[in-house]
């Protein structure tokens, strides 16, 4: 039940954008530096987020990327879905046809329960929630995230 770095990096990057939302687009370079993500890897994470309508981008000087919607309208399940695909721990949960036994399989039911549990957490958390938790956690140290 591991999460790849895609979701970790991606979420951190989006949180960065959420915190500085009003300041306009941030360059990938800034995000990469501040969140310690390899720049050329970060580029690849942005592609699905842009395609998925979570992030919008502006090319050219003074360009960069920004959230496409306000942070309270972006739930983590969408982010994780775009970066990692379905939260189903095994394929048959989403697609029963991959296995003959799906219909009668009780272990599959457990994996479905797991998916549900994961989704419940991710659906109930927005980027704005993270921003607020961060403020509450360390109002002073926040600058760390701007560098």
Partner DNA sequence: GAGTTTGTAGACCATTTTAGTCGACAATAG
Partner DNA sequence: CTATTGTCGACTAAAATGGTCTACAAACTC
> Per-residue b/e over 48-82, b at no fewer than 16 CB within 10 Å?
bbeeeebbeeeeeeeebbbbbeebeebbbbbbbbb
Tell me the residue ranges of DSSP E strands in 13-142: 55-58, 64-67
Contact set for DNA, span 113-132 (CB under 7 A): none
Q: Which residues bind a copy of itself (CB under 8 A)?
A: 1-3, 8, 11-12, 15, 76, 80, 84, 87-90, 101, 104, 106-107, 109-111, 113-114, 117-118, 120-122, 125, 130, 133-134, 137-138, 141, 144
Binder of residue 1, out of DNA, a copy of itself, none (CB less than 5 to 8 A by kind): a copy of itself
- Report the candidate in 44, 55, 111, 109 with the shortest Cα–Cα distance to residue 78: 55
Binder of residue 95, out of DNA, a copy of itself, none (CB less than 5 to 8 A by kind): none
**Binder among 10, 15, 16, 64 for DNA (CB under 7 A):** 64
Q: How far is the CB of 136 from DNA (least distance, A)?
A: 29
Can you state the angle between helices 5-19 and 76-84, rounded to 10 degrees?
140
**Binder among 21, 34, 52, 57 for DNA (CB under 7 A):** 57
**Binder among 58, 99, 117, 121 for DNA (CB under 7 A):** 58
Contact assessment for residue 25 and residue 63, using Cβ atoms and an 8 Å cutoff: yes
**Rounded Cα distance, 62 and 58, in Å:** 8
**Rounded Cα distance, 102 and 93, in Å:** 8
Residue numbers at the binding site for DNA (CB under 7 A): 2, 4-6, 9, 25-29, 38-41, 43-44, 46-47, 50, 57-65
């Amino acid at each position: 039940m591991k999460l790849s770095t895609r979701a970790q990096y991606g979420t951190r990057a989006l949180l960065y954008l959420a915190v500085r939302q009003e300041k306009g687009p941030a360059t990938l370079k800034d995000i990469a530096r501040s969140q310690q993500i390899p720049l050329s890897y970060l580029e690849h994470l942005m592609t699905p987020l842009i395609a998925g309508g979570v992030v919008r981008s502006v090319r050219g000087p003074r360009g960069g990327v920004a959230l496409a919607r306000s942070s309270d309208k972006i739930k983590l399940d969408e982010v994780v879905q775009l970066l990692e695909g379905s939260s189903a721990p095994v394929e048959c949960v989403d697609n029963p046809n991959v296995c003959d036994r799906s219909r009668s399989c009780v272990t599959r039911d457990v994996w479905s329960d797991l998916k549900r549990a994961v989704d419940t957490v991710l659906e109930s958390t927005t980027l704005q929630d993270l921003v607020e938790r961060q403020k509450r956690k360390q109002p002073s140290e926040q600058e760390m995230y701007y560098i």
